[in-house]
A = this chain, B = another copy of it.
Amino acid sequence: VERKLQACLSNAGGENFTNKESFRQAVVNTLERRLFYIPSFKIYGGVAGLYDYGPPGCAVKSNVLSFWRQHFVLEENMLEVDCPCVTPEVVLKASGHVDKFTDLMVKDEKTGTCYRADHLLKDFCSEKLQKDLSITPDKAAELKLVLANLDDLSAEQLGAKIKEYGITAPDSRNPLSDPYPFNLMFQTSIGPSGLSPGYMRPETAQGIFVNFKDLYYYNGNKLPFAAAQIGQAFRNEISPRQGLLRVREFTLAEIEHFVDPVEKSHPKYSEVANLEFLMLPREEQMSGQSAKRMLLGEAVSKGIVNNETLGYFIGRVYLFLTRLAIDKDRLRFRQHLANEMAHYAADCWDAEIECSYGWIESVGIADRSAYDLRAHAEKSGVGLVAHEKFSEPKEVEKLVIAPVKKELGLAFKGNQKMVVEALEKMSEKEALDMRATLESKGSMEFYVCTLGKNVDIKRNMVTIYKEKKKEHQRVFTPSVIEPSFGIGRIIYCLFEHSFYTRPSKAGDEQLNVFRFPPLVAPIKCTVFPLVQNQEYEEVAKIISKSLTAVGISHKIDMTGTSIGKRYARTDELGVPFAVTVDSTSSVTIRERDSKDQVRVGVEEAASIVKEVTEGQRTWAHVWATLPHHSSATVDD
């Protein structure tokens, strides 16, 4: 990783940086100084884990989201919905968040300061490994093992390690409490009574799941279909670190693609099957290998990727990220290990982007099977199922378990209901075994888990038989394949991948550049009168009006600052094109990265900028067909 990052940094004009920290510092300084983002509520000292997007950051975000809508929602005719952030407890109880969406926390026993238990253990082990030259090979191996299994440790195990290693509070060196779970949801109360607990949603997905029935109907009761949602999500992190990567409020863009669990092919799969990119399957991780280039189609056909639909979305995510100009050599798809994946998930891949913080999970693409719909159906009592109508009725054999309520009532009184439910829940095998036992022995012991004990079931208490039935349709709970995008993480990685420095003309300083593609660039074009003079300013205004008319976002800079300085300012915002007015009849257009300039008539400037911005024409084509311009006064 270290070597790879070094290589990428030097590609990225990173020869100016001795290490990833100084590279990151240069990026972050530029981002903060040019208001790509701002620590929220800065004048009040800020709040950890909360950031504002300032004007250029907000424009980049809006561009990324527009492209997401176009690339996913419009292209696939997805059903986009928009649900509230405030969510009642019952929904997040069903989804498991109320009980399980926790991190383990320890408290400084004297000051009450809170820390994430795993962070402290991780920091201890890493530091020991890096700085303590006296540790034995055995000890080193042990620490490495702890690091590898960090995510699997229980509260007890974490606590034991913290005690064993004598880890204390980093700020005060005071002793620490035992680790205990802290729920990461922001809690609130809905309505004035104080009796309806609610939470700020930790993901947007649940809003889609609870609407499945309506959306399925809206889609003409047909599968597959996808619903999508862009919106804020909230996680009350214990101690946010890593700047824009781990924050307390962030924008998610999520897709829930509902599909028949026995038919996960995808009609447009062939469009992505030939893509080749870095993949890191489970097996390779287990054997310590790194990511390697694979053909997506091969990964699917070999069963490394669970199914075609999952593969299709992996491919579409790859196209999405690389179109934004995420460096394909620092993008990999890593399969979850068995212990990382939820028990119900069929398969899960993360799109990870490498930046100065390491490989960052930016998009998760999971086959969550039928878990979420089943959980909400059970909790709400509303059926969340799909139907497959048979062209002609099928004869099926069905097991019937018919408890004889009268006998059961006599035998079990108040417990009758629990016994009936337990009988009805038996699997086919259990039921047939029971029938055989009852027939041969007349009675049997039967465990009722809701009672926590065995009861004695007699032959007259239940009838079990098989029945032939004509069925006109199959009723099933759809599987859901969920690509979930952390928009802020993608944008931060995009910032790092787009940043480079180059020397000023005089060679006395390093200038910052973001090489955003026009799709991403916060402003597509700047317009500069070369010198402050009324005629040039008039022309600049005319060009500005034409750019507005063709819908190209731009900025005029009428200040008397030197043209070189003005170019440097816009390079630092990643503006791809600059129109410089140096006469009243023609102007120059400059491309950011090559610094090449062409000369065009005033009246054609806006349409040429529009064409190269929207990709109808490449800059290479513009450069090949229009007169070049080079002038000491205009050049930077």
Within 8 A of B (CB), among A514-547: none
Do residues B43 and A86 form an inter-chain contact, with CB atoms below 8 A?
A: no
Do residues A48 and B380 form an inter-chain contact, with CB atoms below 8 A?
A: no
Contacts of A51 in B (CB 8 A): 84
Q: A625 contacts the other chain (Cβ, under 8 Å)?
A: no
The residue of chain B having its C-beta at the shortest distance from the C-beta of A376 within the complex is B43
Q: Which 3 A-B pairs have the closest CB atoms?
A: A53-B82, A43-B380, A114-B192
Do residues A191 and B40 form an inter-chain contact, with CB atoms below 8 A?
A: no
The residue of chain B having its C-beta at the shortest distance from the C-beta of A227 within the complex is B55
Partner among B34, B58, B114, B193 whose Cβ is within 8 Å of the Cβ of A193: B114
Q: A210 contacts the other chain (Cβ, under 8 Å)?
A: yes
Contacts of A227 in B (CB 8 A): 55
In whole angstroms, what is the CA distance A42 to B376 when docked? 12
Q: A600 contacts the other chain (Cβ, under 8 Å)?
A: no
Per-residue CB contact flags for chain A residues 50-93 toward chain B (1 = under 8 Å, else 0) read 11111101110110000001100011010111111111101100
Q: Name which of A121-129, A230-238, A349-357, A454-462 contacts chain B.
A: A230-238
Do residues A88 and B236 form an inter-chain contact, with CB atoms below 8 A?
A: no
Distance between A602 CB and nearest chain B CB, rounded to angstroms? 21
Known: A190-B248, A192-B236, A548-B75. Is A214-B38 also a contact (CB below 8 A)?
Answer: yes
In whole angstroms, what is the CA distance A191 to B83 when docked? 25
Within 8 A of B (CB), among A160-209: 182, 186-193, 196, 198, 200, 207
The residue of chain B having its C-beta at the shortest distance from the C-beta of A77 within the complex is B555
In whole angstroms, what is the CA distance A294 to B188 when docked? 47
Per-residue CB contact flags for chain A residues 107-125 toward chain B (1 = under 8 Å, else 0) read 0000011100000000000
In whole angstroms, what is the CA distance A380 to B45 when docked? 9
Q: A28 contacts the other chain (Cβ, under 8 Å)?
A: no
Contacts of A214 in B (CB 8 A): 35, 38, 42, 54
Distance between A116 CB and nearest chain B CB, rounded to angstroms? 9
The residue of chain B having its C-beta at the shortest distance from the C-beta of A250 within the complex is B84
Partner among B70, B211, B238 whose Cβ is within 8 Å of the Cβ of A192: B238
Do residues A53 and B81 form an inter-chain contact, with CB atoms below 8 A?
A: yes
Known: A85-B249, A559-B220. Is A188-B186 also a contact (CB below 8 A)?
Answer: yes
Most chain B CB within a 10 A radius of its CB, from A58, A187, A196: A58
Q: A244 contacts the other chain (Cβ, under 8 Å)?
A: no
Contacts of A390 in B (CB 8 A): none
Partner among B38, B114, B200, B382 whose Cβ is within 8 Å of the Cβ of A200: B200
Do residues B79 and A55 form an inter-chain contact, with CB atoms below 8 A?
A: yes
Q: List 27 A-B contacts (CB under 8 A).
A: A35-B214, A35-B218, A38-B211, A40-B84, A41-B210, A42-B210, A43-B380, A47-B88, A47-B196, A52-B81, A52-B82, A52-B84, A52-B207, A54-B218, A55-B218, A57-B82, A74-B548, A74-B553, A86-B200, A86-B234, A86-B249, A112-B193, A182-B192, A186-B190, A188-B188, A191-B238, A200-B200
The residue of chain B having its C-beta at the shortest distance from the C-beta of A184 within the complex is B192
Partner among B75, B198, B232, B376 whose Cβ is within 8 Å of the Cβ of A85: B232
Do residues B86 and A58 form an inter-chain contact, with CB atoms below 8 A?
A: no
Do residues B105 and A81 form an inter-chain contact, with CB atoms below 8 A?
A: no
Do residues B187 and A188 form an inter-chain contact, with CB atoms below 8 A?
A: yes
Q: A336 contacts the other chain (Cβ, under 8 Å)?
A: no
Distance between A255 CB and nearest chain B CB, rounded to angstroms? 14
Distance between A109 CB and nearest chain B CB, rounded to angstroms? 14
The residue of chain B having its C-beta at the shortest distance from the C-beta of A234 within the complex is B86
Do residues B80 and A55 form an inter-chain contact, with CB atoms below 8 A?
A: yes
Do residues A91 and B41 form an inter-chain contact, with CB atoms below 8 A?
A: yes
Do residues B44 and A88 form an inter-chain contact, with CB atoms below 8 A?
A: yes
Q: A282 contacts the other chain (Cβ, under 8 Å)?
A: no
In whole angstroms, what is the CA distance A59 to B186 when docked? 29
Known: A189-B187, A236-B191. Is A44-B85 also a contact (CB below 8 A)?
Answer: no
Contacts of A551 in B (CB 8 A): 70
Q: A97 contacts the other chain (Cβ, under 8 Å)?
A: no
Known: A91-B41, A248-B86. Is A58-B80 also a contact (CB below 8 A)?
Answer: yes
Q: A213 contacts the other chain (Cβ, under 8 Å)?
A: yes
Do residues B82 and A61 form an inter-chain contact, with CB atoms below 8 A?
A: yes
Distance between A252 CB and nearest chain B CB, rounded to angstroms? 13
Do residues A186 and B187 form an inter-chain contact, with CB atoms below 8 A?
A: no
Do residues B55 and A213 form an inter-chain contact, with CB atoms below 8 A?
A: no
In whole angstroms, what is the CA distance A186 to B42 when docked? 22
Within 8 A of B (CB), among A338-371: none
Distance between A598 CB and nearest chain B CB, rounded to angstroms? 26
Partner among B50, B57, B192, B211 whose Cβ is within 8 Å of the Cβ of A105: B192
Contacts of A189 in B (CB 8 A): 186-187, 236
In whole angstroms, what is the CA distance A234 to B188 when docked? 12
The residue of chain B having its C-beta at the shortest distance from the C-beta of A80 within the complex is B58
Within 8 A of B (CB), among A7-45: 34-35, 38, 40-44
Do residues A52 and B211 form an inter-chain contact, with CB atoms below 8 A?
A: yes
Most chain B CB within a 10 A radius of its CB, from A42, A47, A553: A47
Distance between A207 CB and nearest chain B CB, rounded to angstroms? 6
Known: A81-B53, A82-B61, A86-B248. Is A207-B238 also a contact (CB below 8 A)?
Answer: no
Distance between A113 CB and nearest chain B CB, rounded to angstroms? 8
In whole angstroms, what is the CA distance A40 to B220 when docked? 21
Contacts of A198 in B (CB 8 A): 47, 186
Do residues B213 and A43 form an inter-chain contact, with CB atoms below 8 A?
A: yes
The residue of chain B having its C-beta at the shortest distance from the C-beta of A217 within the complex is B35
Distance between A64 CB and nearest chain B CB, rounded to angstroms? 12
Do residues B88 and A41 form an inter-chain contact, with CB atoms below 8 A?
A: yes
Contacts of A55 in B (CB 8 A): 79-81, 215, 218, 227
Do residues A186 and B86 form an inter-chain contact, with CB atoms below 8 A?
A: yes
Contacts of A77 in B (CB 8 A): 555
The residue of chain B having its C-beta at the shortest distance from the C-beta of A114 within the complex is B192
Distance between A276 CB and nearest chain B CB, rounded to angstroms? 26
